[in-house]
Structure 1
């Protein structure tokens, strides 16, 4: 069986700020998003000797939200945030080094951290928050970025970023509601039949978020498992000057799909590899044509290195040509592994 270690490469910039309250103030734990990104956030905490994780809370740029209404006891909590998929560029996260379980596609409260033991893609690396004894039952975690926005400037910067994400002419994300930003807002509203003012409100922000996420859902590189058995999948993508980077693993249940590259595809080809999980062993994909490094744990490897000397093994990946398409889907089928599996695992269809 393939083993795993959750590895998240991320840029983390966070400010943890507790604040004292009078005895009449309401006890709560709140998140405050002082970045230009719309975020999804989660929290982890120990209760009666068990680690709970809860999420996702959607935070618009500049928005603060209460996530726990009970009195906050002193001790260690864990927090994680990630930008919505609709934001262009690499996924931006606010993370640490404590791997905890989440649900990828829905709201969740998890009381058992063993539920993601077989699937590293259901783990996120949370950062620790130490709540002091003098917190008066309330605490706040602020998500920030290199540009030190206040709440209002973060809100404006968030609108600017979203307009840029959906293809409108915002050049600078600076948190200033100047003439150019107002003109672009007016253009966006007119194009969507939402009036002709150069202002924004929550409804417009939610529309921008939905549109950015909808656009993202249509582009990228997808794996789909068109078998009835689990498949562990890996990909090698061009990394400039004829080099490639290989990475994995994505665990795909039967008939399940996953996005492995975000945003518009910029290469005319990629290389893919898979291992079918038949219970007591992993059966490799056949008919590969180019060797890349892999590992039995979650990995990223540069092309051109000696696999064995660097703790990897070599595997033959299959080339997938996509031409000038901005989106592509590779489907793992039983016959790509061996004839015996093709007979026993059937032909479940992908999406």
Structure 2
């Protein structure tokens, strides 16, 4: 699931007084979830998620945008095909993974990388007059209207309908696919684009994606830190981790329909008495103590990483698979040495 950083544009909107605010504008072909970080008194706060339809602009902070540094992050909805697209940077800040959140304590995710996102920096200037807008864009330059059309084209493609090229132009193929989808949903005839049709497309794309992918489930009584290695070709693999799974939790590790017949899995039980690793490992991959991605075309030493034995998991030709971490799969703690 390679994270892609797409081009972004940040610019000032001339405004002042009562209209001062911070806005996001989605000029991409993706439906987005966006978040902002800012200084709130003596703390650094984060707030999100705002759903941004393609072509939609939204006020996210109604108070005056003060000169100084803000932090912004956005990611595409899971229903879009392909690797996760993000608009990101280098500053790790805390978020909640679902629902709207407003966090004023950045320590809450210090030990949980799944609740961290890499925000990019935005410098608001005095010349802004208290109002600032951040645009999320792609290599293709879209207006607000053409981004909306391109977003509908992408969503139709995500659910398996042929809408032609994703180019922001309302051609005949797009009109035909959109009219068919409207009829399927019992909406009025034609190919009108409105919020209801975009929301219905987002809902269907997310529902389709929810059934696909590779999942981990923790069926032990302790937290499990997990990693995975996926085949790239006949000889090479990419390993990555860590995902923390609380007892009883399940998490999607790879999105989209699976197209390999096997994967390699790895886990560590968080046990205060000793480190307990997943047994049955038969192939070595490179790992690190923090979040990592490594490939087998370089040695672990060249990547300054450690080595661990991963366990092969056959899935056949299915598009979705789940690996359950069970208590008996982990090595028992070594007995304590007797006191002399």
- TM-score range (shorter-chain normalised) is over 0.9
Q: Which runs of 5+ in 1 are unaligned?
A: 1-7, 342-351
Aligned to 1:15: 9
Aligned residue among 166, 191, 196 for 2:159: 166
Structure 1 Cα separation of the partners of residues 204 and 140 of structure 2: 25
Are the aligned partners of 2:226 and 2:245 in contact in 1 as well (CA < 8 Å)? yes
Structure 1 Cα separation of the partners of residues 297 and 169 of structure 2: 46
3-state SS of 1:137 partner: coil
Residues 1:132 and 2:125 aligned together: yes
Distance apart, 1:190 and its partner CA: 2.2
Structure 2 Cα separation of the partners of residues 19 and 122 of structure 1: 32
Aligned to 1:253: 246
> Structure 1 runs of 4+ off > 2 angstroms?
190-196, 279-282, 338-341
Residues 1:116 and 2:92 aligned together: no
Aligned to 1:240: 233
* 1:219-238 mapped onto 2 (5 Å cutoff): 219-238=212-231
Aligned to 1:30: 23
Are the aligned partners of 1:12 and 1:96 in contact in 2 as well (CA < 8 Å)? no
* 1:209-228 mapped onto 2 (5 Å cutoff): 209-228=202-221
Aligned to 2:90: 97
3-state SS of 2:9 partner: strand
What whole-Å deviation, never above 9, does each CA across 1:265-297 have from its counterpart, x for those lacking one?
Answer: 010110100000113543111111111111112
Are the aligned partners of 1:44 and 1:51 in contact in 2 as well (CA < 8 Å)? yes
Structure 2 Cα separation of the partners of residues 70 and 194 of structure 1: 39
Structure 2 Cα separation of the partners of residues 331 and 240 of structure 1: 25
Structure 1 Cα separation of the partners of residues 257 and 164 of structure 2: 19
3-state SS of 1:114 partner: helix
Structure 1 Cα separation of the partners of residues 204 and 3 of structure 2: 27
3-state SS of 1:115 partner: helix
* 1:143-162 mapped onto 2 (5 Å cutoff): 143-162=136-155
Distance apart, 1:136 and its partner CA: 1.6
3-state SS of 2:107 partner: coil
What whole-Å deviation, never above 9, does each CA across 1:110-132 have from its counterpart, x for those lacking one?
Answer: 11111111111111110011000
Structure 1 Cα separation of the partners of residues 72 and 290 of structure 2: 25
* 1:1-351 mapped onto 2 (5 Å cutoff): 9-21=3-15, 23=17, 25-279=18-272, 281-339=274-332
What whole-Å deviation, never above 9, does each CA across 1:245-279 have from its counterpart, x for those lacking one?
Answer: 11111111111111110100010110100000113
Structure 1 Cα separation of the partners of residues 80 and 297 of structure 2: 32
- State how many pairs are aligned: 333
What whole-Å deviation, never above 9, does each CA across 1:227-261 have from its counterpart, x for those lacking one?
Answer: 12111101000011321111111111111111110
Q: Measured at CA, do residues 194 and 122 of structure 1 come closer, stay the same or move farther in structure 2, by a change above 3 Å? A: same
Are the aligned partners of 2:238 and 2:293 in contact in 1 as well (CA < 8 Å)? yes
Structure 1 Cα separation of the partners of residues 81 and 181 of structure 2: 18
